[in-house]
Amino acid sequence: MKLYLAPGACSLADHIALHEAGFDFDRVQVDLKAKRTDDGRDYLQINPKGYVPALQFDDGQVLTENVAILSWVADQDPSLAPSGPMGRYRLLEMLAFISTEIHKAFKPFFNPEAGDAEKAAAADLIGKRLALLAGNMKDDYLFGDRLSVADAYLFVMTMWSRKNGLALPDPLPAFVARMKARPAVGMALEHEGLTEPVAS
Ligand SMILES: N[C@@H](CCC(=O)N[C@@H](CS)C(=O)NCC(=O)O)C(=O)O
- Tens-level pLDDT at each residue, the chain (200 residues): 999 999 999 999 999 999 999 999 999 999 999 999 999 999 999 999 999 999 999 999 999 999 999 999 999 999 999 999 999 999 999 999 999 999 999 999 999 999 999 999 999 999 999 999 999 998 999 999 999 999 999 999 999 999 999 999 999 999 999 999 999 999 999 999 997 544 43
Using CA atoms, how far apart are residues 187 and 148, in angstroms rounded to an integer? 17
- Whose Cα sits closest to atom 1 in ligand 1? 65
CATH architecture under which domain 82-182 falls = Up-down Bundle (1.20)
Task: Find out whether the beta carbon of 65 lies less than 6 Å from any atom of ligand 1.
Answer: yes
User: Relative to the CA of 10, which ligand 1 atom is closest?
Assistant: 10
- Residues of the chain within CATH 1.20.1050.10 domain(s) are 82-182
CB 198 within 8 A of CB 187: yes
Report the CATH fold assignment for 2-76+185-191.
Glutaredoxin (3.40.30)
Q: Give me ligand 1 centre to Cα 75, in Å.
A: 23
